[in-house]
């Protein structure tokens, strides 16, 4: 069973261009299913039937989530009771199985797609949270003293807010993708899809200042990658390291609420919409394949309109 899982992983990586996060998540789910199937004396994918898939999903839905053995253990503190599988996690389990079986039938590894009739659970729509204009102003103020690392942080924040990049896109941005003289960058998004995104004047200035007085001091000749943003060791950022730097800047700006990796991206889209931008343009800038994904921002803008109406209308 493992051989087909590895084939599927190669397919996701090389043909679908899926992110590393998606590849790992799908592989983990399929390996978990294979372990469960082994306990049911199922050793070949050809032996698996729809009833087995349903039995596995029922088992996953009703069983507590296993403790994360890789998580750091705190001395003297017992582990809390593991939570049951969330709807989001169950959705991902089913999506992985459906994608795997579509691939196997398409490549003629299996005769029939027994996962075709599996129904994805309805997910709650979570409205994106955005920073206020005042919070953005505080966050984007340059801090003293000026060092290569603070110049890097400032350029990251300016670009993230100016262009609505995902964290992975920000981390992976390379020097050859910059077209700052024309006010654009080339972004490689999900599924290896390329899009052209404009960059505002302030972000261009922050990047050029960082390149001129920061990156050249961080880069190690002949060793550093061509990524635009580099750590103090001259290496590309890991996701956790980059996000830790951004959260630290949020704390320095006096932003006390919990900040998530997508919040600057959400702020970019929400503020564009509130200031009159067309939803289709925002879809293109964010790199959404479907307008339905972008439409969530209309709910956020609607709340803003209602608040303004209540504040200023005589009978609001």
- Residue labelled with tokens 């390149």: 211
Catalytic site includes residue 265:
yes
Inter-CA distances, 58 with 33, 49, 124, 304, Å: 12, 14, 20, 41
| Active-site residue, selected from the candidate residues 13, 32, 129, 288 | 288
Residue 119 token pair:
């129904």
Q: How far is Cα 278 from Cα 272, in angstroms, rounded to an integer?
A: 8
| Active-site residue, selected from the candidate residues 11, 56, 161, 297 | 297
DSSP class of 177: G
| Active-site residue, selected from the candidate residues 129, 195, 262, 304 | 262
Listed in sequence order, the residues at least 6 apart from 86 whose beta carbon sits closer than 8 Å to its beta carbon are: none
Catalytic site includes residue 166:
yes
DSSP per residue over 31-63, as a string?
Answer: HHHHHHHHHTT--SGGG--HHHHHHHHHHHHHS
Residue 6, helix vs strand vs coil? helix
| Active-site residue, selected from the candidate residues 61, 102, 190, 209 | 190
| Active-site residue, selected from the candidate residues 166, 171, 249, 266 | 166
Catalytic site includes residue 297:
yes
* CB-CB contact of 234 with 220 (8 Å): yes
* CB-CB contact of 95 with 81 (8 Å): no
* CB-CB contact of 227 with 172 (8 Å): yes
Residue 97 token pair:
């199985």
Helices of type H across the chain: 2-10, 20-39, 50-62, 87-106, 133-139, 148-163, 167-172, 201-210, 216-218, 239-252, 263-274, 279-286, 291-294, 296-312
| Active-site residue, selected from the candidate residues 98, 171, 245, 265 | 265
Listed in sequence order, the residues at least 6 apart from 62 whose beta carbon sits closer than 8 Å to its beta carbon are: 84
Catalytic site includes residue 102:
no
Which residues does the annotation mark as catalytic? 166, 190, 262, 265, 288, 297
């Amino acid at each position: 069973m493992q051989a087909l899982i590895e084939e599927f992983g190669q397919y996701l990586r090389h043909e679908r261009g899926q992110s590393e996060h998606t590849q790992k998540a799908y592989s983990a789910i399929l390996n978990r299913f294979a372990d469960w199937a082994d306990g049911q004396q199922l050793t070949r994918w050809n032996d698996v039937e729809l009833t087995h898939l349903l039995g596995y999903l029922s088992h996953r839905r009703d069983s507590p989530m296993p403790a994360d053995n890789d998580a750091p253990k705190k001395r003297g503190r017992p582990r809390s009771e593991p939570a049951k599988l969330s709807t989001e996690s169950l959705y991902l389990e089913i999506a992985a199985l459906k994608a795997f079986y579509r691939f196997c039938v398409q490549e003629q590894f299996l005769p029939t797609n027994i996962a075709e009739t599996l129904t994805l659970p309805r997910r709650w729509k979570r409205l994106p949270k955005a920073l206020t204009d005042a919070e953005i102003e505080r966050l984007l103020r340059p801090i003293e003293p000026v060092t290569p690392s603070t110049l890097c942080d400032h350029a990251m924040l300016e670009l993230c807010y100016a262009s609505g990049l995902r964290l992975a896109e920000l981390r992976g941005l390379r020097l050859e993708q910059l077209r700052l003289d024309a006010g654009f960058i080339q972004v490689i998004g999900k599924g290896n899809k390329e899009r052209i995104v404009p960059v505002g004047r302030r972000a261009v200035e922050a990047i050029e200042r960082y390149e001129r007085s920061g990156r050249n001091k961080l880069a190690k000749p002949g060793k550093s990658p061509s990524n635009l943003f580099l750590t103090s060791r001259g290496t590309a950022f890991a996701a956790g390291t980059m996000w830790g730097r951004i959260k630290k800047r949020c704390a320095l700006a006096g932003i006390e609420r919990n900040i998530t990796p997508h919040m600057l991206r959400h702020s970019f889209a929400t503020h564009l919409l509130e200031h009159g931008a067309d939803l289709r343009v925002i879809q293109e800038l964010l790199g959404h394949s479907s307008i339905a994904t972008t439409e969530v921002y209309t709910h956020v803008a609607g709340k803003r309109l209602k608040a303004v109406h209540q504040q200023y209308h005589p009978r609001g």
